[in-house]
Amino acid sequence: MAFNVINKTIMKSLFSKPATAMYPVIKNEFYPNTRGSIEMAKIDDCSFCGICSRRCPATAIEVAKTDKKWEIDRTRCIVCNFCVQVCPKNCLNTQRSYTAPMRDKSSKLFTAYRPVVQEVTSGTEAQNNLTQVETVEEDA
C-alpha cells in the first residue's frame, strides 16, 4: 500500500517541457510513408484502363476513356492505397499531406485530363489544337 505513487511522474512533468506541440504555430511533420491523399502523378503514362476505378473499395475514382479523364472524389477516398498498388503503369502516388478541410462539397473533385498533341502543319494551328492539362484545385 503506497500513497501518492503518482508524485514521481508529477515532479518529472513539472520540470520538463510540455508533451504537446503548439499547433498551428508548429506544424506536424509527416513521415515518407504517410498516406495523406492520392494524386495522379503521371497523367501522360495513364492508359485509362480503369483498373483503379474497379478496385476501389469506396468507389471514389472515375475514369473516362473517351474523354481521357481521370477523376477522384477526395471526400469518398479512404486512402487505403490499393489503387496505387494495382496500377499497372505506376502513375498514381500518395502524397503526405492530408486533404484540406472544405466548406462545401463543390471542390471535392480532383480531375486530370490527358494533354492531346496532334500533328501540326503551322504555328497557329498548333496553338489552336493543343489542349492544356486542367487541374481543379481545392480551396485553401
List of residues contacting another protein (CB under 8 A): 1-6, 8-10, 12-13, 19, 30-31, 33-35, 55-57, 78-82, 85, 94
Judged by beta carbon, residue 55 or residue 114, the one nearer another protein is 55
For 22, 42, 126, the CA distances from 91, given in Å and listed in that order, are 37, 5, 27
**Alpha-carbon gap, residue 63 to 2, rounded angstroms:** 66
Beta carbon of residue 19, minimum distance to another protein (angstroms, whole number): 5
Beta carbon of residue 7, minimum distance to another protein (angstroms, whole number): 10
Per the structure block, which three cell numbers stand in for 15?
520540470
**Alpha-carbon gap, residue 61 to 56, rounded angstroms:** 7
Judged by beta carbon, residue 1 or residue 140, the one nearer another protein is 1
Beta carbon of residue 1, minimum distance to another protein (angstroms, whole number): 5
Judged by beta carbon, residue 86 or residue 100, the one nearer another protein is 86
- Most distant CA atoms of the chain, gap in Å: 93
| Single-letter amino acid code for the residue at 19 | A
Per the structure block, which three cell numbers stand in for 126?
498548333
Beta carbon of residue 128, minimum distance to another protein (angstroms, whole number): 44
Judged by beta carbon, residue 55 or residue 108, the one nearer another protein is 55
